[in-house]
Amino acid sequence: MAGPLEEHVERFNGGVRSGDWGPMLDGFAEGAVMEFRGIPVGPFAGKEAIEAAYEEQPPDDELHILQRRDLPGRVEARYAWLAEPDVAAGEMFLTHDDGTIQKLVITFDRGVTWD
């Protein structure tokens, strides 16, 4: 069974391919917050703000998970873009409640490593 991180990545990648961000938003709580670190945008509070951000500046590459750590109510991951599948693009910190994303922090920190 897929967890909230895998579901988010699958929905995100589907949005990149189709341009439809609706399915990705289904994984977020109404009042969810999405924050980006390392780029000058956001944070975005609520599904409508998150959707508007993706429609205004849609990503052009799919992502995949390099490493992950599971904690109660939280998933941490290093991710990469498919254009450079072996190079970490940054980290994702996903806070969830019953599988619904409450907060998603995405960093842009190329080459970040974990010990």
Query: What is the pTM (predicted TM-score) of this model?
Result: 0.92
Q: Residues 57-87: pLDDT tens digits?
A: 999 999 999 999 999 999 999 999 999 999 9
pLDDT of residue 99: 85
Report, as an integer, the average pLDDT of 4-8: 94
Report, as an integer, the average pLDDT of 94-100: 93
Q: Burial of 28 by CB count in 10 Å (0-12 exposed, 13-18 middle, 19+ buried)?
A: buried
